A and B are shown apart, each in its own frame.
Chain A
Amino acid sequence: MDFALNEEQRAWQMKARSFAEEEIAPISLARDASPTARDTFDWEIIRKGSRLGFRTAAVPKEWGGHGTDFVTQALVMAELAKADSAISKTFSQCWKWSHLIAAVCTDEQKERFLKPFLADDTFLLGKGITEPGAGSDNRMPPEDDPKAGLKLRAERHGDEWILNGEKAFIANGSVAKLFFLDARTDPNALLRQGTTMFMVPSDTPGFRVGKVFNKSGWRFYQNAELIFENARVPHANVVGAVGGADMRSHAAGDRTGGDLFGDLELAANALGVCEAACAQALGHARTRKQGGRYLAEQQLVLLKLNRMHMLTEALRSFVMRVAWEHDRKLHSPNAGLAMNFSTDVIQEVTELNMDIHGGVGCQMDRSADKLVRDGFIWSHLAGDSVQRLKVAKRIAK
């Protein structure tokens, strides 16, 4: 077993670290403090990061991307998240779907969508699954109920599909130029069989963005409503086959476009947040004095520091192992377990950091507070009971 990074991996890590420290960290708290959801966003950081390759890191080299491996991707996500979890996620959200484009799009589709994506520093990608009445039902559809799950309807008219309905909480919703959308093409079939994935550019007629959700954590990350009123999408924009939105059932070469990357993504991002929390807690304990002595001289403070570092290092081992397994195409429930585990770790570690900062009058350190709010996002993305049951079902199968 070898944990050493090769030169290329190390170079990406260092590049991400300095970008995070020099460019992301200085704007992170101000973006977080912006009162409205749309105003948290900052195109300048996206352009700067894009020029360094953080937007297109996962696109294969033969298509003009950087072709980074999963180990590199995990390292970069963690480094960026160390400065701001939501900004890291905004970049890696594009990787998630560049995996998919590379895996299942036709060459003609790659020409039309991958090339402009590579050429434009502000070209972000989004994916729309969740709807107001369908969250968990999309992740774990009931086996006998065709009515459960997403409702966005797509009906074919000649060479076009007409889309009607809405999506909610869609990542990069208000800023993406291209969406991968799951829509019902057969309302009488079960979710997995009756759903088709479409590529929908943001300027599609009949498609508009509704409200941007104002969240307590991950404030930079834009989750929006997408509204479809007779939106017209060419048949040429169908991803894979009609009735084949579930990439795991699709015979598509490298099938890491969907959940597999997403699981690693959340775990690696959490690792960065935990590193930030450890660094903050350690810095505070070493510099803040109480009664003339440093906090780090107190047993209770040391015990908290111990637990924070223990959990963070355990998560790091798990994340790197999963990334390494992905690179070797060893697919197992480990990625899902790492994602579930990262929920427990990010929340406990950021809470302990707050605890070490706490108790000072009526104030709370803004950074410590932000990390707890960001960490709480994992509760409904990565560590809710459905996400745990899904992984367990795979283990028990």
Chain B
Amino acid sequence: MYNLHLSVEQLEIRDTVRDFVAQTIRPAALRPERLEAAERLPAWDLLEPASRIGLRALALSEQRGGAGADTLTCCLVAEELAAGDVDCAAMLNETSTLARLLFDRLMTDAQRDRLLPQFLADDRYHLAFAGREPDAGAELGINYHRPAASEAAMPITAFRAANGEWVVSGASSRVANAPVAKLVAVRVAAAERACALLVPRDTPGLSVHRDADAHGWHHGTCGDVIFNDCRVPADNLIALEHPGAAGADRACAKSIGTQRAAMNLGVGRAAYEAALDYAQLRVQGGRRIIEHQAIGAKLAEIAIRLEVARAAVWQAAWAADHPEAVADRSLPDLPLAAIARVFTAEAVYRVAKDAAEVFGAMGVMRDMPLQKYVRDALIFLHSGGGVSDAKLGIAETLAGYRRPSAPMVRAAE
């Protein structure tokens, strides 16, 4: 059976978010001061209403107060949000995905009882996870098909004080959502065990430095997290060395990667919609420019690239939600999330450039959206290891190469 129907619920969620973006997000995102800003600060006037319609807790299970959205639904939402404002999309996705990982999968009942009510009650309560991906920044280029030779980053350490508290020291750079997080989970090396600690933002000794460089090359917000003899109660410890935890972390990584591709797609769609509208309004050469072959063919190419990218993203998302489809050979055993991310990043950059060209000189004006779409597409192409590293990662998987890796992943295998 081959079926591409979205469920009634998925269609409803997509329509709701699309309306919300059209009415609330887009008008604000298109204001020149936001389009031109070198550093886009968290837009609470957009993030709070988004939280109120449930987007901050989208992936959290229903029984715990979220919407229980699967990966495909999260991708539908990510595309819609990013078509309006990619930075808001990135922050909401990070928190929603971490909410599922932390509250649903990793926390003990006691931890959840203590922290979940605060999270649900506060529309400005966001989440960050320092050092969640031990392999991030592993610089695959130089390590292709070899054990990692990179100088390891200084780990964040924790030891048990006499009174039973954990004392955390160290730093983690460029942690997504750190500047807005009210709860920071941090992966620590403690007594040879992989574990994580939950550190509320107001814990003495915890400081977050927003990327001071206005030239930040990321979506959403990120910052350096510093733990300076930061003391947290003994029962803030999360064990990571059991197969359930490792599986949850892998699923989380896959889901974030696929949602990233969906956000990237949203940027492309915003560029496409703008170009399509303009091409039907602008008259040159005696007719609407869409009626000229050169522009018509360009818009067709844009539509083709976006549709093929969307198919790849949806397939990766659906595969994440249905692992049995790989087991029964319906889907190939390939890194579908990485494949979707690379294809989408390359396709959408081309889409954004072509769309901007349709606008002529208006395509490079900083108070107009097209130049921002081009820039946003470039950031997807050249951040987080970039597409070159991602291709090498895919190649290693094709060859069946497995790199000896960090403890948490090893424990899972």
Contact = CB atoms under 8 A, between A and B. Distances in A.
A369 B213 CA distance: 14
Interface string A311-343: 000000000000000000000000000000000
A369 B366 contact: no
B365 A213 contact: yes
Contact of B382 (A134, A291, A300, A364): A364
A35 B137 CA distance: 32
A214 B365 contact: yes
B364 A363 contact: no
A253 interface: no
A362 B365 contact: no
Contact of A379 (B149, B289, B353, B386): B353
Q: Which of A142, A217, A379 has the most CB of B within 10 A?
A: A379
User: Which one of B139, B151, B366 has the highest number of Cβ atoms from chain A below 10 Å of its Cβ?
Assistant: B366
Given A291-B143, A295-B141, A363-B215, A135 B360 contact: yes
Interface string A355-384: 101110111101001001000110110001
B285 A136 contact: yes
B305 to A, nearest CB: 17
A168 B365 CA distance: 12
Contact of B366 (A137, A215, A292, A359): A215
A148 interface: yes
Contacts of A290: 139, 141-142, 150
B295 A216 contact: no
Interface in B132-163: 137, 139, 141-144, 148-151
B400 interface: no
A61 to B, nearest CB: 36
B294 interface: yes
Given A216-B371, A385-B294, A359 B389 contact: yes
A64 to B, nearest CB: 35
Nearest to A301: B141
A369 B286 CA distance: 38
Contacts of A364: 215, 217, 379, 382-383
Nearest to B353: A379
B411 to A, nearest CB: 25
A145 B357 CA distance: 24
Given A379-B363, A385-B294, A358 B139 contact: no
Interface string B365-391: 111000100110011011111101100
B361 A130 contact: yes
A145 B286 CA distance: 7
A152 to B, nearest CB: 17
B211 interface: yes
B150 A214 contact: no
Contacts of A384: 357, 360
B216 interface: yes
A369 B142 CA distance: 24
Contact of B383 (A136, A223, A359, A372): A359
B391 to A, nearest CB: 8
A363 B38 CA distance: 13
Given A213-B365, A380-B357, A358 B298 contact: no
B171 interface: no
Given A215-B365, A298-B141, A144 B215 contact: no
Given A213-B365, A293-B142, A389-B294, A355 B386 contact: yes
Given A291-B149, A364-B217, A215 B285 contact: no
A292 B213 CA distance: 26
Interface in A172-223: 213-218, 223
Contact of B211 (A135, A144, A362, A386): A362
A169 interface: yes
B315 interface: no
B174 interface: yes
A16 B143 CA distance: 43
A354 interface: yes
Nearest to B148: A291
Contacts of A361: 137, 173-174
Given A135-B284, A291-B151, A380 B382 contact: no
A354 B143 contact: no
B150 to A, nearest CB: 4
B218 interface: yes
A358 B151 CA distance: 19
A45 interface: no
A213 B88 CA distance: 28
The residue among A148, A293, A298, A364 with the most chain B CB atoms within 10 A of its own CB is A364
Contacts of A5: none
A385 B296 CA distance: 11
A140 interface: yes
A376 to B, nearest CB: 6
Contacts of A355: 381-382, 386, 388
Contact of A291 (B36, B139, B360, B361): B139
9 contacts: A136-B285, A136-B360, A148-B284, A168-B361, A359-B382, A359-B383, A359-B389, A362-B222, A380-B361
Q: Which 3 A-B pairs have the closest CB atoms?
A: A358-B382, A385-B294, A359-B386
Given A362-B222, A364-B383, 11 more contacts: A145-B286, A148-B285, A168-B361, A214-B365, A293-B142, A300-B141, A359-B383, A361-B173, A361-B174, A362-B217, A376-B371
Interface of B: 36, 38, 137, 139, 141-144, 148-151, 173-174, 211, 213, 215-218, 222, 284-286, 289, 292, 294-295, 298, 353, 356-357, 359-361, 363-367, 371, 374-375, 378-379, 381-386, 388-389, 392
